Amino acid sequence: MAGVGLCHTDLAVAHGHLPFPFPSVVGHEGSGTVVAVGEGVTKVAPGDRVAASFNSCGACPECLAGSPVYCVRFMELNFSGVGGAGTTPLHDGAADVGGNFFGQSSFATHALAHEINVVKVPDGIPLELVGPLGCGIQTGAGAVLNSLNCPAGSSLLVTGGGSVGLSAVMAAARGLATIIVVEPVAARRRLALELGATHAVDPAAGDVAEQVRAIIPAGVKYAVDTTAAAPVITAVLASLAQQGRFGMVGVPADPTATLSVNLIEMQARGLSFTGIVEGDSNPDVFIPELIDMYKKGAFPFDRIITTMPFKEINEAVEAQARGEVIKVVLVHGSGIG
């Protein structure tokens, strides 16, 4: 492993908000160099630089249709803690340890991944930085470019200025006319504007929907929510224009959380709500596209990354919670800032 991103989903498992057996090794935004491959593997070879993403079966109707993120075995393959053979690949002495998290369990010096969920990484980009492309960054960018397919000249509201939200901003900056970010941390609002947002709204300054409609009275055509917080979702719906489209990528703290909406309003205004996983991405296709955009200077995702030594993982969690950093990538060394 060269580096591994610290993601909200890892913390959700640690806090018991997502199903995964304990004790376990999580981590699912890994990148590194292939050391060895199993029999029959042809996609990569020892020495290849790779990023790892989510696991999928490759054989169900969704996978065959090019939508591996909606694989019918997604939960089993990414959250069961065991591999394809039904047994965990990790052990502590004689005791089983939950592994195969997102097909990789990359909070480690080495990870066991699968041919289907690794993507070769070209030269010209720091290897330790590309792991988050496999989850958080492709989620935000994919929500704009894939899921909602926001057309040039349109308007977008992004709630939350973390790594997912700012990735959505960077993707939207390629052509959308109005990009509004709602974020309570001032430093993140400033960075959002630097990365392409046209407006940055402080939710503490007043009613969010009123602030949005002060900018664009008709409302926004598209919205991406990264918070999964009920009050925020209510504000987003009130900010949408007629026939507005709302994509939710946030993971709720409560796995039993439900969405309450006024059905007449949704119908009369022609609003649509879309749940989005991993930005509707096919990693083999989308990660190379994002890397190509980065190399052309059109997707500067490195600006939201701070590297820290892996041994400082607890300090990294605290720094992210305080809003001092956007996306931490843990490296097995001193870190590069």
**How high is the pLDDT of residue 14?**
83
Residue 162 lies in a domain: yes
38, 61: one domain: yes
88, 150: one domain: no
**Residues near 279 by Cβ (< 8 Å), separated by ≥ 6?**
69, 138, 139, 140, 141, 142, 143, 145, 146, 147, 249, 286
Distances (CA, A) of 328 to 188, 230, 309, 336: 15, 27, 10, 11
Residue 178 lies in a domain: yes
* Domain containing residue 120: CATH number: 3.90.180.10
The alpha carbon of 208 is separated from its chain's Cα centroid by a whole number of angstroms, namely 24
198, 326: one domain: no
User: Quick one: what percent of the chain has pLDDT higher than 90?
Assistant: 87
Q: Residue 75 corresponds to which amino acid?
A: M
> What mean pLDDT comes out for the span 246-270?
90
Residue 293 lies in a domain: no
Report residue 74 as tokens: 């997604």
Query: Phi, psi at residue 122, to the nearest 5°?
Result: -75, 170
* Residues paired with residue 306 on neighbouring β-strands, in sequence order: 328
Residue 292 lies in a domain: no
256, 305: one domain: no
Gap between the Cα atoms of 31 and 119, Å rounded: 9
pLDDT tens digits, one per residue of 107-146: 999 999 999 999 999 999 999 999 999 999 999 999 999 9
pLDDT tens digits, one per residue of 139-180: 999 999 999 999 999 999 999 999 999 999 999 998 999 999
Residue 267: is its pLDDT beyond 60?
yes
326, 307: one domain: yes
**How high is the pLDDT of residue 336?**
47
Query: Phi, psi at residue 120, to the nearest 5°?
Result: -65, 140
**How high is the pLDDT of residue 87?**
86
272, 144: one domain: yes
Higher per-residue confidence, 282 vs 17: 282
Domain count, the chain: 2
Residue 96: is its pLDDT beyond 70?
yes
- The Cβ-side half-sphere exposure at 317, using a 13 Å CA radius, reads 12
**How high is the pLDDT of residue 52?**
98
Residue 1: is its pLDDT beyond 90?
yes
49, 155: one domain: no
User: Quick one: what percent of the chain has pLDDT higher than 70?
Assistant: 99
**How high is the pLDDT of residue 337?**
45
Mean pLDDT of the chain: 94
- At how many degrees (to 10) do helices 163-172 and 186-194 cross? 20
Note the helical H segments in the chain: 8-14, 61-64, 74-79, 136-142, 163-172, 186-194, 208-215, 230-239, 263-269, 283-295, 313-321
171, 271: one domain: yes
End residue of a domain, out of 260, 276, 292: 276
Reported confidence tier of residue 334, pLDDT bands at 50, 70, 90:
low
**How high is the pLDDT of residue 41?**
97
pLDDT tens digits, one per residue of 40-93: 999 999 999 999 999 999 999 999 999 999 999 999 999 999 987 788 989 999
Name the region of 236 (left: φ>0; alpha: ψ -120 to 50; beta: rest). Answer: alpha
Residue 286 lies in a domain: no
Residue 255: is its pLDDT beyond 80?
no
147, 237: one domain: yes
Domain membership of residue 85 as a residue range? 3-134+300-331
Gap between the Cα atoms of 219 and 240, Å rounded: 5
125, 150: one domain: no
Residue 288 lies in a domain: no
**How high is the pLDDT of residue 254?**
80
- The Cβ-side half-sphere exposure at 51, using a 13 Å CA radius, reads 29
117 and 54 Cβ atoms separated by less than 8 Å: yes
Residue 25: is its pLDDT beyond 90?
yes
129, 177: one domain: no
Query: Phi, psi at residue 189, to the nearest 5°?
Result: -65, -40
Place of tokens 């955009």: 293
How many other CB atoms sit within 10 Å of the CB of residue 86? Answer: 8
**Residues near 107 by Cβ (< 8 Å), separated by ≥ 6?**
4, 10, 25, 26, 27, 310, 313, 330
Residue 282 lies in a domain: no
pLDDT tens digits, one per residue of 220-239: 999 999 999 999 999 999 99
Residue 93 lies in a domain: yes
148, 199: one domain: yes
pTM, rounded to two decimals: 0.95
* Domain containing residue 183: CATH number: 3.40.50.720
